Amino acid sequence: MPEKSRAIILVPLAVLMILAVFLLLGYALTIAFQLPSRLDLPIPIRVIGFLTLLLGLLFLGWFFRYRRPTDVLVSTYVTFSKMVRGVRLEERSFRTEPLVVKGPYRYVRHPLYSGVLVQLAGWWLLLDYSLLLVSTLLAFVWFTAVVTPFEEKELRAIFGEDYELYAREVPRMIPFIKRRGKKMRHL
């Protein structure tokens, strides 16, 4: 099976499996720490959850205007293959897209992860299940401690000084917390 086809099939399956693991861990930790299953959030907070979901969908829609879904699947496949197989980070494999620094990438280096976290937080606020809060926190830890550090090493190896400059000026996943200049210099 060609690598691109493999990426299109395997990445969504892996994402669903990882999401299932986070939900199961969230459920297990909720039980282990004897957290209430629901926090009885007031209706206005749950409405904010609905609005957060909409915001997350809009953000992800904006993201996909700058990265095609197939490019995202392929680059994710390549990155995780490198992580698992120990392939050299400089190797592009069949990852051909350029460094994107427009659209949501002007505000965060990892807009897909930011969008996913906003979605998870929205579902938690809307549905008011503690396991969703714990799962969201676990996903945040996974993205910040495992996925983004490896991916950023790879991006530095592929794009060199362009990525270094970009990383110095744009925060990782939470917008507006690390801007060093008034405007991002054009790469």
Residue 60 domain flag: yes
Residue 2 has pLDDT above 90, yes or no: no
What's the pTM?
0.90
Residue 144 domain flag: yes
Flag the least confident range among 68-77, 91-100, 149-158, 165-174.
91-100
How high is the pLDDT of residue 87?
76
Range of the domain at 19: 3-169
CATH code for the domain of 24: 1.20.120
Residue 41 domain flag: yes
Greatest C-alpha distance within the chain: 51
Residue 183 domain flag: no
Residue 175 domain flag: no
Residue 114 domain flag: yes
Structural domains of the chain, count: 1
How high is the pLDDT of residue 185?
52
What's the mean pLDDT in 60-88?
Answer: 90
Short-list 55, 159, 45, 170, CA closest to 117: 55
How high is the pLDDT of residue 94?
65
Q: Which comes out higher in pLDDT, residue 101 or 86?
A: 101
Instruction: Show the tokens assigned to 66.
Output: 């700058």
What's the mean pLDDT in 20-29?
Answer: 97
Residue 184 has pLDDT above 60, yes or no: no
